């Protein structure tokens, strides 16, 4: 079981110019740490979760991660953080600031991780960065802002920008929340659970491959049960946390800067992913990054095919044999 730790970054400046006197970062580590003569970790691999995850999301890789496995914890020291705005790291709902919490960007999220590693964990260079979905945004951000800080990146089911339907959905979801009468400009007395449930139900309509909705549920009752259960889970999150995270996604676009990436890159995409179709994201990304490899696999689970980690085991193992 992963046990998280907390570190506090002093005077954290956001891209907007806003400053928090103290930014909390939640993280966990495991594996074998190797250090240089100055005590700096030299074999770190940073894992970054998607929009709804936290430090514990790394557990989905357990089938291919461990001693002697594709992601060999005898060779690598794994660092998994809860990104700025998620889990136990600073966000509107746990900071005491509520709607006065600074609006953050993907660049801010990566910078918080950079400061955590550099200032608190004695990591001046990483072996690599692995990110899934929104975590993939951060892996690309890392490779652009700190091109010599890591040897490799593995962006999984992700893209270089939020455009098209993804952009429209993020804007719509925020609009649904912000226009709800109970939202009160973010100063609500109780979390507007009903609209959060509907936002989560909307996302349910795209998370699987199209055929899944017609073929994988035994009947309409089972489909609607899953649909409503998704809504119930969505109603448990804080409205401001959702709005702030969506804001970071809406402003994300690294397409003009991809040529700055120097790290070796393994791009993994899923055929059937409605959020990041390979022909719109993974394939163009592989063409834009000079030293990159591309691996695609099909999943009836669509975007949630990220959980079928065994399908990416061989290409990851082969790719990591270089490092």
Residues annotated catalytic, as ranges: 133, 273, 303
- Count CB neighbours of 44 within 10 A: 25
Report d(CA 57, CA 163) in Å as an integer. Answer: 25
Helix or strand (DSSP H, E) at 31:
strand 19-31
DSSP-H helix ranges across 116-238 = 134-145, 164-178, 193-207, 210-215, 220-234
Q: Is the CA virtual torsion 32, 80, 296, 137 positive or negative?
A: negative
CA nearest neighbour of 187 among 312, 93, 69, 84: 93
Q: How many Å is the maximal CA-CA distance in the chain?
A: 62
Helix (H, G, I), strand (E, B), or coil: what is residue 182? Answer: coil
Report d(CA 51, CA 250) in Å as an integer. Answer: 13
Report d(CA 204, CA 229) in Å as an integer. Answer: 10
**38: Cβ–Cβ under 8 A, 6 or more apart, which residues?**
none
């Amino acid at each position: 079981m992963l046990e998280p730790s907390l570190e506090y970054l002093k005077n954290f400046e956001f891209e907007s110019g806003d400053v928090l006197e103290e930014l909390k970062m939640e993280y966990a580590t495991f594996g074998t740490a190797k250090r240089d003569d100055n005590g700096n970790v030299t074999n770190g691999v940073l894992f970054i979760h998607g929009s709804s995850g936290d430090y514990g999301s790394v557990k989905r890789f357990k089938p291919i991660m461990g001693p002697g496995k594709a992601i060999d914890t005898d060779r690598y020291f794994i660092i998994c953080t809860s990104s700025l705005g998620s889990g136990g790291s600073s966000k509107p709902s746990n900071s005491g600031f509520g709607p006065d919490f600074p609006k953050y960007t993907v660049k801010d999220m990566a910078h918080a991780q950079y400061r955590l590693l550099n200032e608190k964990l004695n990591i001046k260079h990483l072996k690599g960065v692995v990110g899934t979905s929104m975590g993939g945004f951060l892996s690309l951000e890392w490779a652009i802002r700190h091109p010599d800080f890591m040897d490799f990146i593995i962006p999984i089911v992700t893209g270089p920008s939020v455009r098209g339907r993804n952009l429209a959905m993020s804007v719509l979801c925020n609009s649904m929340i912000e226009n709800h009468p109970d939202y009160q400009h973010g100063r609500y007395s109780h979390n507007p659970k009903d609209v959060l449930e509907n936002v989560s139900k909307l996302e349910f309509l795209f998370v699987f491959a199209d055929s899944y909705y017609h073929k994988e549920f035994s009947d309409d009752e089972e489909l609607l049960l899953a649909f409503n259960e998704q809504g119930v889970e969505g109603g448990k999150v804080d409205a401001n946390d959702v709005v702030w995270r969506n804001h970071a996604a809406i402003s994300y676009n690294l397409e003009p800067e991809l040529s700055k990436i120097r790290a070796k890159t393994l791009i993994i995409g899923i055929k059937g992913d409605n959020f990041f179709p390979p022909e719109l994201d993974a394939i163009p990304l592989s063409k834009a990054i000079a030293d990159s490899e591309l691996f695609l696999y099909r999943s009836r689970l669509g975007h949630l095919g990220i959980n079928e980690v065994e399908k990416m085991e061989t290409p990851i193992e082969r790719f990591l044999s270089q490092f």
